[in-house]
Amino acid sequence: MIDLKELTQAISDLNEEKAFQILQEFVAQHPSQEDVRKIIAACQQGMIFVGEMFDSDDYFVADLIFAGELMSRAVEILKPVIYRTNTKNIGTIVLGTVEGDMHDIGKNIFKCMAEAAGFAVHDLGVDVEPQKFVLKVKEVEPQIVAMSAVLTVAQRAMKNTVEALKKAGLRDKVKIIIGGNHITEYSCERIGADAFTTTASEGVSICEKWVLGASLHFAAPACLNKDGKSLQSL
């Protein structure tokens, strides 16, 4: 059997050569579904460590992008053996870069880390119209809607999306998190989201808190940071 700790370590060290070697050996062994579950969990744990190292300023953006690429390739290697495996699912997120904005790096990092944390993520891509969010929310009934935008102009589209969810009677059924470089508490309140973040790892922490917390309050939005505290107004 593969040394799972070694795999987790290789991923958290961003040592792709080592990680791919372990995964290829694993696939060649025709593993059981139980072993596949364990190896996926080990990969996810490696990504969680990557997120923690980003939080502690040991990793930076290029490292997160590299980690995302590493994880995507890891999944490719594992594909032949994971098709029947049920991995843990702690919640569902509908994700997209909002209308008018084509940036996807932050969104993709968030997606990768959220999936590693156990979320099922429905990624709508970039330049996503409010109505597309609405339709997807109706379809998959997520606990969380996550919107990304780098351009400040796209904050208007975030607000429009929140309004569209309200109009469709879906707003109170989901938590909404917004992310992007220029997102502040001020913009969060204006948009009507429940939380905001400027980093993918913090965003995932907030989402985890929401779905794993003792109680979920789908009440009036109060913009929160990852500790669940309301931030001071500007």
Q: What is the CA radius of gyration of the chain?
A: 18
Nearest approach, Cβ of 53 to another protein (angstroms)?
Answer: 10
Q: Which is nearer to another protein, 34 or 57 (CB)?
A: 57
Give yes or no for a contact between 78 and 118, defined as CB atoms under 8 angstroms apart.
no
Nearest approach, Cβ of 148 to another protein (angstroms)?
Answer: 14
- 3-class SS at 92? strand
Strand partners, 97: 148
Give yes or no for a contact between 165 and 196, defined as CB atoms under 8 angstroms apart.
no
Q: What is the DSSP letter of 125?
A: -
Nearest approach, Cβ of 95 to another protein (angstroms)?
Answer: 18
Residues that bind another protein (CB under 8 A): 14, 57-63, 65-66, 69, 99-102, 105, 151-156, 181-182, 184, 186-187, 190, 234
Tell me how many helices (H) and strands (E) the chain has.
Answer: 9, 5
Q: Which is nearer to another protein, 81 or 164 (CB)?
A: 164
Nearest approach, Cβ of 152 to another protein (angstroms)?
Answer: 5
Q: Which is nearer to another protein, 182 or 217 (CB)?
A: 182
Q: Which is nearer to another protein, 184 or 225 (CB)?
A: 184
Burial of 173 (0-12, 13-18, 19+ CB in 10 A): middle
